[in-house]
């Protein structure tokens, strides 16, 4: 009696399991009896593809389609075969001609749309054209709108991306991954309260995902809900104790001081109870600095493994600066670090000079919190005014507590200096804080300004791609370039010190823009190629020389 022919299901399972020789034997046995039925013929194509005979598999599938152009199994296999072979254009053409809007199940078509619009070889213009073509001639399918939205978002086109995402959302609930992108797009569009509502719903759907917890915290802060942001962050670091991205985000969000204290207590407990990876340890060290906990910060930076390339450059910059801070002791802090306070005024009895300190994007002097940096500044005979920009826009849009725009802020700062009895104003800042130090210094009649590797030209057309979204939003509202050379020309009597890493191309290019301006004093660091100029200057004592020789500050108790 002849044995029954092997079933397609049995052969299919062998191929899926990688038992290719066994699958080959069963197919050969079937071929010996009779020409292969369609189902087994397609499995022959699968087997050829799995054994590396792409040309043989392609020829077989194209032969099937010549005989039966509507065969969806052959068409789908050919699309996948060509996609995996890197022949993306051909795969897309066959998909559009034979599979899209055909009788195949919608979920099968959706999977192929994802495969044909994902990957490093998906050139932006061609991929967006492919997706646009799929939207023609019928009801828009959510999967295409979602892929279009994701691709537009990655191409820094948040407006069109949000439109596509909103159309997809109108057809039904978004998948979790797409809903997360929707939150980002809403934030980019300034729809902060909509983003918060979406993030809250998303957190309820997937409470174990730390990235979604992070989005909730960001959305709450953006919507002007620091209390909710603090609660969400506290819950997140308790649930995800070793997640370094949450620690990174914690250090950069506008949270209330009491919330920061509570969250730090949880982070500190996590550090004792869990082994933190280098990225998380570095963020923990920064959190310690905000709490003036210098010894734990130093211990974290000295932990074995902190030579990991992901953190080594930051550790190499911060650790020496922290050692210098701890040498000889520091006086007590004159104010508590408070991320929501835009202005900290610290009078110095009998001083005649006001030093305006402009914080960078993190509201710090490089990695040093302003309250900690001020403890070191107490050695100088000057009033200090520390400033944080909640918009992260180099103070170009003013500060809410000091007026509605930059001009109003400058007037308010002038009034503060008058109230302190200042006869002389000097300014300093690192990164974008250095840009503000020069620009506001020129407007306030400062005698000298110091920028540590700050930009000298801000141009929304070229500078924004790598910046955080809230910074891009702030700069894009400027509508035009802002060039420090114009400010320096208006105040030729102001000495402007520009410190920079001589081997870092971006720094050197910014310095080159200042060539030929008489009141500019370059302060290069030869051989330095990092972005941590401010910390380098602090650690090796150069900053003291800049403050004393460049800004003309005197040490307390020094002879006039």
Beta strands, E only, 314-467: 343-346, 353-358, 364-365, 368-369, 383-387, 424-430, 448-452, 457-458
Check: CB of residue 141 under 8 Å from CB of residue 167: no
Range list of β-strands (E), 276-388: 343-346, 353-358, 364-365, 368-369, 383-387
Nearest to 36 by CA among 67, 14, 13: 67
| 8 inside domain | no
Q: For residue 418, is it within any domain?
A: yes
What is the phi/psi pair of residue 88, to 5°? -65, -40
CA–CA gap between residue 435 and residue 483 (Å, rounded): 10
Let me know the angle formed at the C-alpha of 423 by 418 and 424, rounded to the nearest 5 degrees. 105
Q: Is 17 buried (19+), middle (13-18) or exposed (0-12) by CB count in 10 A?
A: exposed
Res 533: pLDDT: 95
Please give the distance of CA 249 from its chain centroid, rounded to a whole number: 10
Is the CB of residue 478 less than 8 Å from the CB of residue 395? no
Tens digits of residue pLDDT in 245-275 = 999 999 999 999 999 999 999 999 999 999 9
* Confidence (pLDDT) at 2: 40
Handedness of CA 456, 461, 465, 470 (dihedral sign): positive
In a domain, 328, yes or no: no
In a domain, 527, yes or no: yes
Residue 514 covered by a domain = yes
SS3 526: coil
Token duo for residue 188: 């980019």
How long, in residues, is the chain? Answer: 560
Residue 190 confidence (pLDDT):
86
The CB density around residue 423, as the number of other CB atoms within 10 Å, is 11
The answer as to whether 33 is a domain residue is: no
Which residue reads 């919507």 in tokens? 223
Q: Which residue range forms the structural domain that includes residue 446? A: 343-550
Count how many domains the chain has: 1
Nearest Cα neighbor of 343 from 400, 261, 259 is 400
Strand (E) or helix (H) holding 525: strand 520-525
CA distance linking residue 280 with residue 240, whole number of Å? 12
Predicted local distance difference test score (pLDDT) of residue 3? 43
Per-position DSSP letters for 50-113, written without gaps between them: HTT-HHHHHHHHHHHHHH-TT-HHHHHHHHHHHHHTT-HHHHHHHIIIIITTSSS-HHHHHHHH
pLDDT of residue 357: 99
Tens of pLDDT along 346-394?
Answer: 999 999 999 999 999 889 999 999 999 999 999 999 999 999 998 778 8
| DSSP designation for 174 | P
Q: 164 lies in a domain?
A: no
Q: What is the pLDDT of residue 6?
A: 58
Residue 526 lies in a domain: yes
Q: What does the pLDDT read at residue 133?
A: 92
What confidence score (pLDDT) does residue 558 get? Answer: 67
Written as six digits, the tokens of 142 are 């959510």
Residues 6+ apart with CB under 8 A from 554: 380, 381, 548, 560
The CATH number given to whatever domain includes residue 424 is: 3.40.50.1820
How, if at all, do strands 482-483 and 457-458 pair?
antiparallel
Low-confidence residues of the chain: pLDDT under 70:
1-9, 11, 14-15, 20, 23, 26-27, 29-40, 460-480, 558-560
pLDDT at 480: 60
Gap between the Cα atoms of 229 and 217, Å rounded: 5
Our measurement of the distance from residue 487's CA atom to the centroid of its chain's CA atoms, rounded to an integer in Å, reads: 31
Q: Which of 127, 79, 81 is nearest to 99 (CA)?
A: 79
Phi, psi of 224 (to 5 degrees): 75, 35
């Amino acid at each position: 009696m002849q044995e029954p022919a092997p079933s397609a299901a049995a052969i299919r399972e062998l191929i899926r399991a990688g038992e290719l020789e066994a699958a080959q034997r069963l197919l050969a046995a079937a071929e010996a009896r009779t020409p292969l039925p369609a189902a087994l013929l397609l499995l022959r194509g699968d087997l050829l593809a799995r054994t590396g005979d792409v040309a043989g598999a392609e020829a077989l599938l194209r032969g099937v389609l010549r005989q039966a152009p509507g065969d969806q199994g052959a068409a789908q296999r050919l699309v996948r075969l060509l996609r995996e072979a890197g022949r993306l254009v051909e795969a897309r053409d066959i998909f559009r001609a034979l599979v899209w809007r055909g009788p195949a199940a919608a979920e099968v078509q959706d999977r192929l749309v994802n495969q044909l619009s994902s990957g490093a070889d998906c050139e932006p213009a061609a991929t967006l054209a492919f997706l646009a073509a799929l939207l023609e001639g019928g009801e828009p399918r959510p999967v295409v709108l979602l892929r279009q939205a994701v691709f537009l978002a990655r191409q820094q086109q948040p407006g069109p991306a949000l439109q596509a995402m909103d159309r997809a959302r109108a057809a039904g609930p978004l998948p979790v991954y797409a809903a997360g992108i929707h939150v980002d797009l809403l934030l980019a569009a300034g729809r902060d309260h909509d983003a918060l509502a979406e993030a809250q719903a998303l957190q309820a759907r997937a409470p174990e995902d730390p990235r979604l917890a992070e989005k909730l915290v960001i959305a709450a802060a953006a919507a002007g809900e620091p209390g909710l942001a603090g609660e969400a962050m506290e819950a997140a670091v308790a649930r995800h104790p070793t997640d370094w991205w949450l620690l990174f985000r914690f250090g950069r969000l506008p949270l209330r001081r009491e919330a920061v204290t509570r969250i730090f207590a949880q982070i500190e407990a996590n550090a004792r109870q869990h082994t933190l990876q280098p990225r998380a340890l570095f963020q923990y060290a920064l959190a310690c600095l905000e709490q003036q906990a210098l010894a734990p910060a130093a211990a974290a930076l000295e932990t074995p493994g902190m030579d990991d390339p992901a953190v080594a450059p930051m550790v190499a910059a911060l650790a020496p600066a922290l050692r210098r801070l701890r040498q000889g002791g520091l006086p007590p802090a004159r104010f508590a670090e408070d991320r929501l306070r835009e202005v900290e005024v610290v009078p110095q009895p009998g001083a005649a000079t006001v030093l305006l300190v402009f914080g960078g994007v993190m509201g710090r002097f490089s990695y040093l919190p302003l309250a900690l940096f001020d403890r070191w500044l107490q050695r100088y005979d000057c009033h200090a005014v520390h400033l944080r920009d909640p918009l992260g826009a180099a103070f170009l849009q003013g500060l809410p507590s000091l007026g509605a725009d930059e001009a109003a802020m400058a007037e308010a700062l002038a009034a503060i200096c008058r109230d302190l009895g200042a006869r002389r104003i000097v300014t300093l800042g690192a990164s974008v804080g250095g840009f503000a130090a020069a620009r506001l210094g020129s407007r306030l009649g400062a005698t000298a300004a110091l920028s540590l590797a700050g930009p000298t030209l801000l141009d929304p057309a070229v500078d924004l791609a790598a910046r955080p979204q809230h910074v891009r939003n702030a700069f894009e509202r400027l509508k035009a370039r802002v060039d420090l050379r114009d400010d320096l020309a208006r105040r030729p009597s102001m000495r402007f010190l520009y410190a920079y890493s001589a081997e870092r191309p971006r720094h050197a290019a910014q310095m080159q823009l200042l060539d030929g301006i008489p009141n500019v004093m370059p302060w290069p660091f030869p051989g330095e190629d990092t972005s941590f100029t401010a910390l380098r200057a602090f650690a090796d004592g150069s900053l003291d020389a800049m403050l004393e020789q460049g800004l003309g500050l005197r040490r307390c108790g020094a002879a006039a």
